[in-house]
Structure 1
Amino acid sequence: PWRWYEEMLNCCLDLEQVKRTGITLPDFSCLAICQGLSVDLRYASDAEASKDYQKTTEATGGAGGSLEDFRAAVKLACLDDENEETSDDNDNDDEATLRHVLAVSYNRKTLGQTGTG
């Protein structure tokens, strides 16, 4: 199975480069799209954002997002749909079932945390 996962990375990134430098949020988005997922890439709105950051947002097609937008995305990813069964017995892998997943990339130093990545 591990080989299959490595092969999945080759759609828009060079695997050797990923091993050396990691991936960016736009790269992560590209990988998700390559796997047939729908992606809503957003960057936090910040009145003091640098011009380089704003250029990156525009170049990658990412939309800006307010704190309210982020909170709504967290709720959407964390709360069960009222009509969805939450039983552990339900192993329904129906492709028509829409599942929301939230992936967040952030600067640990900004939050007073140590480490990177």
Structure 2
Amino acid sequence: MIRFCKSPLCLLIETRWLIPRRFDGFAPGPLILLRPGASHALIEHEKVHVRQFWRSGGTMGILYLLSPRWRLRFELEAYREQLRHCEPGAAHQFARMLSRHYRLNISEEQAYRLLTAPRQA
């Protein structure tokens, strides 16, 4: 399946290839790659990364790769959006993912607190 999205401007492609292991979706720039059967919640997570790409003028990928601080910021925003489309218990699963798969040097407990903390205005 290939789908064009207007908001945010991106191309969504369902594929079994080009997606890093351990993940079901990947958003390099304005392209979203999803494994077949991806949930609506995951699509919303990946759309956040596309918005981050556009907001950063295309520098998001470099910031993401080089800075754990920026990587955490980007993933927290995306996982918080994904949580809005999931069952409440998903926060524990997402905290586990953040603590184990993103080279952030944070514990699962720290990740959970960051995910569930009230957002500051």
**TM-score normalized by the length of structure 1:** 0.27
Q: Highest CA radius of gyration, 1 or 2? A: 1
Question: As a proportion of its length, which structure holds more helix?
Answer: 2
